[in-house]
Amino acid sequence: MADFDVPVLNEYPLIPKLKEGVMAHSSPFMAKAEFQEQLGFPGELPDNWKEVAIDKMGELLGKYRSLQVFLDICVHCGACTDKCHYFLGTTDPKNMPVARQELLRKVYRRYFTFAGKYFPKLVGAVDLTEEVLDDWYSYFHQCSQCRRCSVFCPYGIDTAEISMAAREILDVVGKGQKYCNEIIGKVFVIGNNLGLPEPALKDTLEGLEEEVEEDTGVKVRFPLDEKGADILLITPSADFFAEPHVDGLIGYAKVFHEAGVSWTMSSKASEAANFGMFIGSYENMRRVSLRIREAALELGVKRIVFGECGHAWRVAYSFLNTLAGPFDFLDQNYPIPQHICEFTNNLINENKLRLNKAENDHMKLTFHDSCNVARGAGMGNIEGGQFTIPRDVIKASCNYFYDMPQDTIHDATFCCGGGGGLLTDDLMELRVKGAQPRMEALKQVTDEHQVTNIAAICAICKSQFAKTLPYYGFTMDQIVSVHQLVSNAIVLKGSEQEAELDGETE
Ligand code: SF4
Ligand code: SF4
């Protein structure tokens, strides 16, 4: 199946023997000039590229004090070395977080520190050359910006931030990544990552309405661009058609229906994802976020709810107000924005949803904490809500739930292997190898509790698992959406299922 060696799954995690340079060949395709220019970047390496790159580094160091602190304070203690899934899966020492940081740090030292300027060899400082740029392009695209290493660093050094800075520098010298930059362009022109235009979106949603009515006997609406609705749902475009994402969207619609709220989606902001974060570009992240503000204002909604998307939730929870606020025109009595899991969980706690767990009895579930939710955001008004709320929703919808080993969940969760703008087929080897630590944990819980399915609240994790599960002896349909479980279990008022259940209890 693969033209590379798929890592074996061990009984317990092993620190691999180093294989130097084993992933040096791994680089994503570069963006064409037209897509670079659309985002305000040069289409090719400019003549004065070195000056441009160093100026950009200086600008970023001035703008983000954390970046300079991270580059200055590492004591090379090694605590992060075996914490990265890409290192564990690939065995390439440059995928150790500290080694990845060094790629940028040694250039930083050369141009921005006294010792590096005058005694470069003494402090391991190097000149910026095209070879160094190529190394950056390769290894900063072997980091999913998942922040796991930062949890274990005694100084809290965040390699994700260093990797974002490196990608931003690469962009300004014309070395942008095809996958991310072309997608950002599509969001600006069409409104979503998939390039799905408004008529196609409308058609898809009408199709879903018919499907749910056929299935349940209840007309559950999937409204688009409805002015005056109370809630604007912002969801990843994968939710509109791909499995298992679309089953999650059906779940949100059923929840809104049962809650009796008016809601809508928007063709202008038909995408929750914000790849501006992956390429480290504040300007592009802002432009993508502003569509949400504009859609909310045009539709006159009172609340914004986000669907299941990991990094989108990080941008929404942590930065949306800075990027596109103030949201003073929304109802201040609700979280701005709110996660769909919190919305559903509140209804469950208020006994406003009837859930028949037995509908999910054909599955034994575990839950994958998506890294951007786990380490880049919160959820609800409680500490650790990003861990407990999705689990509470699953447990309210299913009879069988088992967590994976403790050191692979919550804030120690392993990335799926496809985050941070790496979910592209040209990085398949990296994605499969990077998935190894998560697959190992899944195997453990499968062996112990006969788990059949893994649930997630991130579009990237779902797509990544659908592709990589088969490499490890699982099947692609083992990955499910959390709201797919809700959708299966929810008993809609007036549905055939309600009649059946009530008939049984009479
Ligand atoms: S754990 Fe932190 S201080 Fe230690 S080597 Fe890694 S980045 Fe440096
Ligand atoms: S942020 Fe994640 S992917 Fe990047 S070096 Fe750290 S652990 Fe590895």
pLDDT tens column, 180-192: 999 998 888 887 7
CB 457 within 8 A of CB 31: no
CA R_g for the chain: 23
Say if ligand 2 is within 6 A of residue 293 CB.
Answer: no
Q: 167: which 2 tokens?
A: 């990608």
Say if ligand 2 is within 6 A of residue 146 CB.
Answer: yes
- For ligand 1, atom 4, the nearest C-alpha belongs to 77
Say if ligand 2 is within 6 A of residue 142 CB.
Answer: no
Looking at all shown ligands, the one closest to residue 144's CA atom is 2
- For ligand 2, atom 3, the nearest C-alpha belongs to 143
Q: What is the pLDDT of residue 241?
A: 84
- Ligand 1: nearest atom to the Cα of 79: 1
CB 176 within 8 A of CB 36: yes
Going from the Cα of 414 to the center of ligand 2, the distance in angstroms, rounded, reads 10
CA dihedral 327, 333, 335, 339 (to 10 degrees): -120
- Ligand 2: nearest atom to the Cα of 145: 1
Q: What is the pLDDT of residue 503?
A: 84
Using pLDDT thresholds of 50, 70 and 90, give the confidence band for residue 119: very high
pLDDT tens for each residue of 424-452: 999 999 999 999 999 999 999 999 999 99
Q: Once rounded to an integer, what is the mean pLDDT over residues 303-330?
A: 97
Using pLDDT thresholds of 50, 70 and 90, give the confidence band for residue 178: very high
Q: What is the pLDDT of residue 412?
A: 98
- For ligand 2, atom 5, the nearest C-alpha belongs to 97
Residue 377 CB contacts under 8 Å (≥ 6 apart), including other chains: 313, 314, 316, 317, 318, 386
Q: What percent of the chain has pLDDT over 90?
A: 93
Using pLDDT thresholds of 50, 70 and 90, give the confidence band for residue 197: confident
Going from the Cα of 276 to the center of ligand 1, the distance in angstroms, rounded, reads 27
- Ligand 1: nearest atom to the Cα of 77: 4
pTM over 0.75: yes
pLDDT tens for each residue of 462-472: 999 999 999 99
Say if ligand 1 is within 6 A of residue 99 CB.
Answer: no
- For ligand 2, atom 7, the nearest C-alpha belongs to 84
Residue from 74, 96, 148, 159 whose mutation best tests the ligand 1 pocket (most atoms within 8 A of CB): 74
Say if ligand 1 is within 6 A of residue 77 CB.
Answer: yes
Report the DSSP beta bridge partners of residue 231.
Answer: 263, 303
Q: What is the pLDDT of residue 506?
A: 56
SS3 of residue 355 by DSSP: strand
Q: What is the pLDDT of residue 14?
A: 86
pLDDT tens for each residue of 393-431: 999 999 999 999 999 999 999 999 999 999 999 999 999
Say if ligand 1 is within 6 A of residue 75 CB.
Answer: yes
Using pLDDT thresholds of 50, 70 and 90, give the confidence band for residue 505: low
Q: Once rounded to an integer, what is the mean pLDDT over residues 238-244?
A: 92
Going from the Cα of 106 to the center of ligand 2, the distance in angstroms, rounded, reads 19
Going from the Cα of 76 to the center of ligand 1, the distance in angstroms, rounded, reads 5
Mean residue pLDDT of the chain comes to: 96
Q: What is the pLDDT of residue 449?
A: 98
- Counting DSSP H helices and E strands in the chain, the numbers are 23, 7
Q: State whether the Cα torsion 483-489-493-494 is positive or negative.
A: positive
Q: What is the pLDDT of residue 118?
A: 97
- Ligand 2: nearest atom to the Cα of 144: 3
Q: What is the pLDDT of residue 196?
A: 82
pLDDT score of 1 more than 80: no
pLDDT score of 49 more than 80: yes
Using pLDDT thresholds of 50, 70 and 90, give the confidence band for residue 50: very high
CA distance 120 to 116: 4
DSSP type of residue 405: P
H-helix or E-strand containing 340? helix 340-349
Say if ligand 1 is within 6 A of residue 2 CB.
Answer: no
Q: What is the pLDDT of residue 192?
A: 79
Say if ligand 1 is within 6 A of residue 172 CB.
Answer: no
Q: What is the pLDDT of residue 187?
A: 86
Residue type, 133: L
**Count of CB atoms within 10 A of residue 411's CB?**
15
